[in-house]
Amino acid sequence: MGVLRAGLVGLGMMGRHHARVLRSLEGVELVAVADPGGDPHKVAGGLDVLPDVEKLIAAGIDVCVLAIPTASHEEAGLALAAAGVHTLVEKPLASSAAGAARLAEAFEAAGVVGCVGHVERYNPALQNLRARLEHGELGEIYQVITRRQGPFPNRVADVGVVKDLATHDVDSTAWVTQLPYRSVSARTAHKSGRQHEDLVAVVAQLADGTVVNHLVNWLSPMKERVTVVTGERGAFIADTIAADLTFHANGVRPLEWETMASFRGVTEGDMIRYAIAKPEPLRTELAAFRDAVLGRGDANVVVGMREGQAIVEVAEAIIRSAAEGRTVDLP
């Protein structure tokens, strides 16, 4: 296969970035775009803005990126699978676990690449963290804490903070630890007058018993994207806004100053901030999608639709836990 003819559905906040990266990606040509709402960010260039995914398919595309509201993922994705178009669907895969399963089945049956845009997996800080955990640098993992908060994004109206934002943390936690979720217990709040929840606090356990906490909201005036993994030898802190990874080691020398030890603890050790390369995560993600379509490199680098389905299942368990006031076990 030569140059891949790419289509893009959705020219909103995420779509404009996909358009920019697709145009810069070697071996890919953006040939068609579609959005019934037009082109608010003026990213179509010389391309006609088509009204729907059917017109996009008719333009003769090999691959497609879906960057439209979550509620529309299933219908558009099924049309692309039926047309034999390799597709990357922005996260979450669908607005329900059942819809996610139908998409995964359709792409499997069609024999084309279907993947999900969980872009945090491609953040350099989290990629470096996963490699260090895999090599045993932290020893036994005790706890994973994530904080993802900031102002409400006006672009989101069809799902709440759990499916839009918390799915980032659910996926990245399962990915960096290489463990599925065993159970979740959650509380949500509706503070901004919208239909869906805008705040969630989650306590969960992974398959090996590791304790997980997720704090996510659309109510904070500051933006925070932090993952803390605490274990036998210390703690890693990944700041995915800055793509920084820091390690706080357990110390080997007790503090002799008694009053200092009483509030700082006695096991503080060295702190290291790693110097790591910082390529743009979206570019890394779309390059991995391209390579999967072309059969190059490791196919497991992309987030498969079955993985995306599992994340939606955890998100639904979180929402159910909050609604019913109980812990929900996952299969």
* CATH number (domain holding residue 149): 3.30.360.10
Domain holding 200, by residue range, is: 121-278+312-329
Whether residue 273 sits in one domain with residue 229? yes
Whether residue 193 sits in one domain with residue 248? yes
Whether residue 245 sits in one domain with residue 114? no
* CATH number (domain holding residue 75): 3.40.50.720
Whether residue 256 sits in one domain with residue 142? yes
| pLDDT one-digit tens code per residue, 154-184 | 766 678 999 999 999 999 999 999 999 999 9
Query: Would the pLDDT of 86 be above 60?
Result: yes
Whether residue 65 sits in one domain with residue 39? yes
Number of domains in the chain: 2
The angle formed by the CA atoms of residues 15, 66 and 153, to the nearest 5 degrees, is 50
For residue 78, CA distances in Å to 83, 194, 223, 290 come to: 9, 29, 35, 20
| pLDDT one-digit tens code per residue, 225-271 | 999 999 999 999 999 999 999 999 998 665 555 655 555 544 678 99
3-state class (DSSP) for residue 108: helix
Query: Would the pLDDT of 148 be above 60?
Result: yes
Instruction: Decide if 77 contacts 106 (C-beta within 8 A).
Output: yes
Whether residue 166 sits in one domain with residue 271? yes
Whether residue 177 sits in one domain with residue 100? no
Whether residue 247 sits in one domain with residue 135? yes
Confidence of residue 88 (pLDDT cuts 50, 70, 90): very high
For residue 317, CA distances in Å to 162, 248, 327 come to: 10, 33, 9
Whether residue 259 sits in one domain with residue 131? yes
Confidence of residue 326 (pLDDT cuts 50, 70, 90): very high
Query: Would the pLDDT of 124 be above 90?
Result: yes
Q: Is the model more confident about 198 or about 300?
A: 198
Whether residue 139 sits in one domain with residue 219? yes
Whether residue 179 sits in one domain with residue 322? yes
Whether residue 67 sits in one domain with residue 98? yes
3-state class (DSSP) for residue 290: helix
Instruction: Decide if 304 contacts 292 (C-beta within 8 A).
Output: no
Average pLDDT over residues 25-49: 95
R_g (Cα) of the chain, nearest Å: 21
